[in-house]
Amino acid sequence: MSTEAGLPADLPRLSRKEPAPKAGIVHLGLGAFFRAHGAIYIEDAIRSSGGRYADWGIIGVSLQSPRMRDQLAPQDFAYTAQELGPEGESLRQVEIVCDVLVAREDPETVLTAMSDPAVRIVTLTVTEKGYCHDPATGRLNTGHPDIRHDLENALPVSAPGFLVRALARRKAAGLPPFTVLTCDNLPENGRLVKGIVLELAERLDPELSAWIAAEGRFPATMVDRIVPATKPEDVEALAARTGRHDAAPVLHEPFRQWVVEDDFVPAYGKDARPDLAAAGVELVSDVTAYEHMKLRMLNGTHSSLAYLGYLAGHETISETVADPVFARFVKALWRNEIIPSFKAPPSVDLVAYADALFARYANPGIRHRTWQIAMDGSQKLPQRILGTLRDNLAAGRASPGLCLAVAAWMIYVGGTDLEGDPIDVRDPLAERLKSLSDGADDAPAKVSALVGVTDIFDAALAADLRPRITEAYVRLQDEGVRAALETVS
């Protein structure tokens, strides 16, 4: 008998060492990334500024599944962060989370928490698809079933719906709004979520929208830390090492970075945020250059390596860049196509940043699976790759490597690899994309069908990219991945 597969039944459960902090933050989408990144920064900020946890505890919200609540509740919402470095591992117990709510089970309790005067910040990691927007335009997708529900019901189901309904309650109660601090990989993420929130609020109550626009704050951020998915064998290995059962540990690389625009709701004065700078957060007036750097140089190459590496048979990113062909490819991608496409942040050496990224990718302790990174590509391509392609086209700069990456994505979403074996595609548009690919007879037709998906490609960009991606698609089919990469490295 065991508590779960591989664990003895009498193994003690991880438990909290310190009293639970009072909540000052609600986090929508409490997954592994935020628990390995933002939560640790916030805990460090409280410790570094003199208060153990003060009143900046985090109430996590799972928008869909009760799994995270069910894993963390028996251990008082504490969990282990396991740092995986090239030289070995280190462990840390994180205790800043004080509760986890499940929105689909009890949306009223979530709105009540978000409406609490003690809550001054709502953070989000709901992934690109969680904003219910059109990735090609950044506008609210009013045809999205969750948005249709939220326009007709007082108890919402979407992340934008919870933000708007909670802000409406605060306005009605005469409270200041909370700061909305998105931590997802989206260009100008603060401005994007502000636009989505204002558009939804406008449809419900124009006065509410005007109040949010005047009083609310939506600082943009850039977040960076590689956090691979936790597997059952990771839970078992941690239990064997510590003698305690932690059902929800997080694994992460040593590197971390968080750049935040220092623009929080002014009504709270000095209490508008924790002392994030004390924990190493970079507080800036404009995060745009940092966003471009990270989205294009890290996320863009991560996705490129994921699709091309997966089709070449590589399981993880570290395995992919250990292949000399891929190592040359990604370095050429940075040098020739990505670094020339944007202006560096102040005092940042982009060549040195690329070298550091390569070292992070090569870390054998991080088993970040290509299949995992490849998920939800329809939501990721516009900001990770298509923006760079658009700027390069405008500058007359060739982008053969990025075109190969987009072509690899198209092969991937077709549902079979280059050997004809099936692929388990996870994407909000998976059925539609596969149907378009299946309905086309050859490579040019498949590319034409897929660049015609306006949720992803705007018409002008699609017209410019069609011949270039078709050439790349044919090369991948005819020559295979590694040979195709040799031609652009």
pLDDT single digits (tens) 318-371: 999 999 999 999 999 999 999 999 999 999 999 999 999 999 999 998 989 999
Q: Is the pLDDT of residue 5 over 80?
A: no
Place of tokens 């031609």: 487
Look up residue 143 and give its DSSP letter. Answer: T
Place of tokens 């069910």: 70
40-49 mean pLDDT: 94
Fill in the amino acid letter for 144: H
In angstroms, the CA 172 to CA 111 distance is: 13
Residues 197 and 284 sit within 8 Å (Cβ to Cβ): no
C-alpha torsion 54→99→41→178, nearest 10: -80
52-63 mean pLDDT: 91
Q: Is the pLDDT of residue 26 over 90?
A: yes
114-136 mean pLDDT: 96
Q: Is the pLDDT of residue 410 over 70?
A: yes
Q: What band does 276 get if pLDDT is binned at 50, 70 and 90?
A: very high
Average pLDDT, the chain: 95
Using DSSP's 3-state secondary structure scheme, residue 135 falls into coil
Phi-psi region of 263 (alpha: psi -120 to 50; beta: other; left: phi over 0): beta
- Give the bridge partners for 8, in sequence order: 2
- Side-chain half-sphere exposure of 174, counting CA atoms within 13 A: 0
In angstroms, the CA 123 to CA 216 distance is: 14
Q: Residue ranges of the alpha helices (H) in 5-131?
A: 32-36, 38-48, 67-72, 107-114
pLDDT more than 70, % of the chain: 99
Residues 198 and 210 sit within 8 Å (Cβ to Cβ): no
How far, in Å, are 187, 257, 338, 366 from residue 297 at the CA level? 13, 14, 6, 19
Fill in the amino acid letter for 465: L
In angstroms, the CA 285 to CA 190 distance is: 13
In angstroms, the CA 281 to CA 41 distance is: 8
Q: Is the pLDDT of residue 1 over 50?
A: no
Rg (CA), the chain: 23
Q: What is the pLDDT of residue 377?
A: 96
Q: What is the pLDDT of residue 489?
A: 83
Residues 6+ apart with CB under 8 A from 388: 296, 300, 337, 338, 341, 342, 399, 402
Of 46-55, 417-426, 474-483, least confident by mean pLDDT is: 46-55
Pairing of strands 221-224, 257-261: antiparallel
303-315 mean pLDDT: 98
How far, in Å, are 241, 315, 335, 367 from residue 320 at the CA level? 29, 7, 19, 11
In angstroms, the CA 43 to CA 475 distance is: 50
Residues 145 and 139 sit within 8 Å (Cβ to Cβ): no
Residues 6+ apart with CB under 8 A from 185: 128, 223, 294, 295, 299, 380, 383, 384
In angstroms, the CA 361 to CA 368 distance is: 9
Q: What band does 2 get if pLDDT is binned at 50, 70 and 90?
A: very low
The pair of structure tokens assigned to 276 is 């994030």
The pair of structure tokens assigned to 419 is 């050997």
Report the 10 Å Cβ neighbour count for 5: 9
In angstroms, the CA 128 to CA 371 distance is: 17
This prediction's pTM: 0.89
The pair of structure tokens assigned to 423 is 């692929």
Q: What is the pLDDT of residue 4?
A: 60
Q: What is the pLDDT of residue 49?
A: 82
In angstroms, the CA 73 to CA 183 distance is: 24
Look up residue 19 and give its DSSP letter. Answer: P
Q: What is the pLDDT of residue 136?
A: 87
Rounded to the nearest 5 degrees, what angle is found at the Cα of 42, between the Cα atoms of 41 and 44?
A: 65
Ranges assigned E (strand) in 185-334: 221-224, 250-252, 257-261, 282-284
Place of tokens 């990270």: 294
Backbone phi, then psi, for 416, in 5-degree steps? Answer: -140, 145
